[in-house]
Amino acid sequence: MTFLVDPITFIANWLNGVLTGWGIPAMWVQFIMFTIGAGLLALGAMIFTIGLIWLERKLGGRVQDRFGPNRVGPWGIFQTIADMLKIFTKELITPVGADPILFNLAPLLAMAAVLGLWAVIPLSPTVFGTNINVGVLYLIGVGAIGELGIILAGLSSNNKYALLGGFRAAAQLLSYEVPMAITLLIPVMLTGSMGLNDIAGAQKVAFIFQAPVAALVFFIAGIAENGRAPFDLMEADSEIVAGFNIESSGLKVGMYYVADFLHAFTSALIFTTLFLGGWKGPGAEQYPILGFVYLLIKTAAVYLLTVTVRFTVPRLRIDQMMAFTWKYLTPLALASLLVTAVVDKAAPADQGLLRIILLLAANVVLFLIADRLVTLYRKEHGKQRKVVSEFRPVPVTIRKPAVEEPEVNS
């Protein structure tokens, strides 16, 4: 395989041959290769995050009719580096009364969990950390570690606002994990495998056209799992100042900041793999470098859509956020799973186009029914609220002031 067709595999095979030629045992060669690969992947993700931060701040400025970063470097491209240098040189402070172990462990968990998700995401047909056959379960398990880091940050800070942010994080992240986990089962059902590389390779027609309702639910739940607007209630500055990381400083703030942006891009990457075919595209199997290009283009489109939602949709109230997942997203995810199971049983995978048409039609019908039910529910709920909120005059008894009788001098 030539360098231009698949450069990463070419370099890996060359390095493997060099280490083997030095007489290093095969077990240690494999360990060294995995260590170098994991280090380069983490380093690449960190460097890539710098560009993501600049891009998102620039796009957010344009959406909100301002310039965004434009001081440090051409078009402000070095502003993120300047901010990182400033944050990393700040003093690390542990508040009095805080749990020092959990307080310092929380940002590490948040950061490590996001980087750990990249271990099972296929970047091309031949480039992936590991192609385990339970990749979907791995996503759920490792993603929960990041949620634990955010909750620990709020609980260990000895601050009331951070504690409120931790409570909100626990309620929000655990609630939106339910519809996300349900919709994860649909690509598994359509593919017959829980390996992410198998799911991406099986999408001759992207699953977003076969299960659009599940894709929509997963996209919304992914934004909520990231804690981004309109679901950024666990760090709402107008309500609880800065939320779970209010007491953090220096490097810990930077780790939360990087984890936030990297988590948003990772969610877009997972969505692309599950519902947009990942690296799948014309010529990707013959030229794996094309698969990486397809994956990057699709993920960038999903990420830009996420950023647009962040800067255009107002924040929900805490009761609206919780009602949205339990009253709407979770039932819709369950209904989508049931419909997909019925169609998958009625039209097996070997029926090709008929199966795709039936899945799409079933999802359209499901969406129309759900929209009608939501409309009826909101009308009925609106009538009840109107009855409760009607003006009811309160009877007031007006008492005449007592008239003092003039004193009579005897």
pLDDT tens for residues 10-35?
888 888 888 888 888 888 888 888 88
Please count the other Cβ atoms lying within 10 Å of the Cβ belonging to residue 170: 17
Of the pLDDT bands very low, low, confident and very high (cuts 50, 70, 90), residue 395 is: low
pLDDT for the residue numbered 75: 84
pLDDT value at residue 83: 84
The chain-wide mean pLDDT, for the chain, equals: 83
Q: pLDDT band at residue 407, thresholds of 50, 70 and 90?
A: low
Is 406 a residue whose pLDDT tops 80?
no
pLDDT of residue 384: 59
Q: What is the tens place of the pLDDT at every residue in 234-256?
A: 776 666 766 777 777 788 888 88
Residues 6 or more apart whose Cβ sits within 8 Å of residue 174: 147
Domain map of the chain by residue range?
A: 1-89, 94-384
Give residues with Cβ within 8 angstroms of 69, minimum separation 6. 54, 57, 58, 61, 75, 76, 77, 79, 80
More confident site: 334 or 384: 334
**d(C-alpha 374, C-alpha 329), whole Å:** 11
- Lookup: tokens for 367: 């969406």
Name the maximum alpha-carbon separation found in the chain: 131
Residue of 148, 157, 151 whose CA lies nearest to 103: 157
Over residues 46-61, mean pLDDT: 83
Q: Average pLDDT in the 46-54 region?
A: 81
Amino acid at 356: I
Neighbours of 289 (CB within 10 A): 18
Quote the percentage of the chain above a pLDDT of 90. Answer: 10
Say which residue, 243 or 110, is predicted with more confidence: 110
d(CA 321, CA 209): 28
Q: Which pLDDT value is given to residue 215?
A: 92
Q: What Rg value do the Cα atoms of the chain yield, rounded? A: 27
* Spatial separation of the C-alpha atoms in residues 137 and 144, rounded to whole Å: 11
What's the 3-state SS for the chain? CCCCCCHHHHHHHHHHHHHHHCCCCHHHHHHHHHHHHHHHHHHHHHHHHHHHHHHHHHHHHHHCCCCCCCCCCHHHCCHHHHHHHHHHCCCCCCCCCCCHHHHHHHHHHHHHHHHHHCCCCCCCCCCCCCCCCCHHHHHHHHHHHHHHHHHHHHHCCCCHHHHHHHHHHHHHHHHHHHHHHHHHHHHHHHHCCCCHHHHHHCCCCCHHHHCHHHHHHHHHHHHHHHCCCCCCHHHCHHHHCCHHHCCCCCHHHHHHHHHHHHHHHHHHHHHHHHHCCCCCCCCCCCCHHHHHHHHHHHHHHHHHHHHHHHHHCCCCCHHHHHHHHHHHHHHHHHHHHHHHHHHHHHCCHHHCHHHHHHHHHHHHHHHHHHHHHHHHHHHHHHHHHHHHCCCCCCCCCCCCCCCCCCCCCC
User: 273-297, pLDDT tens digit by residue?
Assistant: 999 988 888 888 888 888 888 998 9
